[in-house]
């Protein structure tokens, strides 16, 4: 009988002990597999969060803030410098403008300046109310008049020219959907537009309808809805088209930059500040992903220590079991040595026995681990998701901005200003799921082999210490 065959048969010499060892080892291997799956799932989610949450920064003309402040617009050369920066996923350029309804006089400040640079046949869907009149300078009935307004004053219509017309960041909300029509190409020169649902309703517009702005005819290609009253009263156009119509060729009022990972955010900000100098302001908020990453790191830490603990526990179990078996079979070992068996062959016999027990446990443990992976991961995540509520990004500004789509949102440049963006990080956590692949199964089997090898190391050394003469004399 070969050494390997003898080791396989020895694994079943004591049925009760074999079942007990297999069951206990199966539990530890299942736990190890669950923790390994959790580690990979959480790490994948961490990488995803770093590439989608808090990795957005904005570049605006120095001194500009929405339709306030001053400074010079960003130029084509500046945008080119931004696009040539390392670690960028995308750059979305925007140009903000305001249209006054035809037949009305644009609101003017005491210095004679005005925010509206064009006229349109559209009428704003937003009632000015107290805030609109106050912010635009209409103190009707007051002692001081800060602006020049007609009796039928209505708010200007805000238009955004952008290279990313379908982005959720264009409205600073989590949902941007077309309710009719199709999206537009943000890089074209076509006189086409997406119209907010509120504005479309106010002006009886539908897909295919036309309106005028800058004395030109513009065709409605789609109607969008965001659930935000201000944004649903706006117009979105291709950037080159708005630049041409408003005689602002090449001008950009903001650029929304998406970095490939939060890890590269600070370096990107530094690089942009160096390239653009004093001509632009660069704003970022890396803390947007801090809460989520903190919670995910907690799950990762628990999974890591649990994985190590499971591997150590499995090694200890098989070690103690094989140590007990070696002590029980001292006489058998002495006889095998007396008839010429080498230490290596005898050690392999016991290693084969350990591998057999561990292999059976691995089969059971892998099945159990696959079944329990997602429930256990959900339990780990649920405790963290309760405290993972998204922070807000605050700052003055108004009007729709634009930018690349981002999971969970991020800081948004709106007309050159930052508005509030809210992220439900609990949703990010709750979406963590473990997926079993071939590589995971291979890792599970390798872990079982590792446990068996580590567990038989010292017992094998004890086998080499057994002297046949001493064993036979004591027996």
- Encode pLDDT of 252-274 as tens digits: 888 888 888 888 888 888 899 89
- Residue appearing with tokens 């500040």: 273
The more confident residue out of 302 and 286 is: 302
Q: Is 251 helix (H, G, I), strand (E, B) or coil?
A: coil
- Encode pLDDT of 395-449 as tens digits: 333 333 333 333 333 333 323 333 333 333 444 444 555 555 666 667 767 777 7
* Cβ neighbours, 10 Å, residue 135: 12
Using alpha carbons only, what angle is made at residue 147 by residues 144 and 151, rounded to the nearest 5 degrees?
100
What's the CA dihedral at 207, 212, 216, 222 to 10 degrees? -20
| Dist. CA 458–CA 394, nearest whole Å | 62
Looking at the chain, the whole-number percentage of residues with pLDDT higher than 70 is 70
Does the structure show a pLDDT above 90 at 460?
no
The more confident residue out of 97 and 43 is: 97
- Encode pLDDT of 358-369 as tens digits: 888 888 888 887
| Dist. CA 214–CA 97, nearest whole Å | 11
pLDDT at 227: 87
| Dist. CA 292–CA 52, nearest whole Å | 12
Which structure tokens are listed for 322?
């094989």
- Residue 167 CA, chain-centre distance (Å), reads 16
What's the CA dihedral at 193, 195, 199, 203 to 10 degrees? 60
Does the structure show a pLDDT above 70 at 98?
yes
pTM over 0.75: no
The more confident residue out of 368 and 211 is: 211
């Amino acid at each position: 009988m070969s050494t390997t065959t003898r080791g396989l048969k020895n694994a079943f010499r004591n049925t009760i002990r074999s079942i007990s060892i297999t069951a206990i080892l199966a539990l530890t291997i299942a736990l190890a597999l669950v923790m390994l799956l959790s580690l990979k799932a959480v790490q994948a989610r961490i990488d995803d969060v770093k590439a989608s949450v808090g990795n957005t920064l904005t570049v605006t003309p120095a001194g500009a803030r929405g339709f306030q402040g001053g400074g010079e617009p960003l130029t084509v050369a500046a945008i080119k410098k931004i696009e040539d920066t390392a670690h960028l996923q995308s750059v979305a350029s925007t140009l903000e403008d305001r249209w006054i309804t035809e037949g009305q006089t644009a609101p003017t400040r005491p210095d004679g300046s005005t925010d509206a640079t064009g006229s349109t046949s559209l009428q704003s869907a937003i009632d000015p109310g107290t805030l609109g009149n106050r912010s635009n300078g209409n103190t009707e009935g007051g002692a001081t008049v800060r602006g020049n307004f007609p009796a039928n004053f209505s708010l200007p219509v805000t238009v955004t020219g952008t290279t990313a017309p379908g982005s959720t960041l264009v409205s600073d909300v989590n949902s941007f959907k077309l309710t009719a029509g199709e999206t537009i190409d943000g890089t074209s020169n076509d006189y086409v537009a997406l119209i907010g649902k509120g504005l479309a309703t106010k002006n009886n517009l539908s897909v295919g309808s036309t309106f005028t702005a800058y004395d030109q005819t513009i065709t409605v290609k789609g109607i969008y809805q965001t659930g935000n009253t201000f944004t649903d009263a706006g117009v979105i156009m291709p950037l080159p088209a708005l630049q041409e119509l408003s005689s602002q060729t090449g001008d950009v009022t903001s650029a929304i930059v998406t970095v490939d990972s939060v890890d590269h955010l600070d370096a990107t900000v530094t690089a942009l500040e160096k390239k653009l100098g004093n001509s632009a302001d660069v704003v970022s908020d890396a803390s947007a992903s801090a809460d989520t990453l903190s919670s995910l790191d907690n799950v990762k830490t628990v999974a890591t220590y649990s994985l190590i603990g499971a591997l150590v526990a499995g090694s200890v179990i098989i070690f103690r079991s094989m140590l007990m078996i070696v002590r029980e079979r001292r006489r058998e070992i002495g006889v095998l040595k007396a008839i010429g068996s080498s230490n290596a062959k005898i050690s392999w016999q016991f290693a084969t026995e350990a591998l057999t027990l561990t292999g059976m446990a691995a089969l059971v443990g892998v099945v159990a681990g696959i079944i329990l992976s997602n429930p256990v991961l959900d339990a780990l995540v649920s405790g963290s998701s309760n405290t993972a509520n998204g922070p807000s990004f605050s700052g003055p500004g108004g009007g729709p901005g634009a930018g690349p789509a981002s999971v969970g949102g991020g800081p948004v440049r709106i007309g050159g200003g930052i508005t509030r963006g809210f992220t439900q990080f609990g949703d990010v956590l709750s979406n963590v799921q473990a997926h079993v692949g071939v590589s995971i199964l291979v890792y599970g089997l390798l872990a079982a082999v590792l446990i068996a090898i580590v567990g038989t190391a010292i017992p094998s050394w004890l086998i080499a210490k057994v002297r046949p003469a001493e064993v036979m004399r004591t027996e």
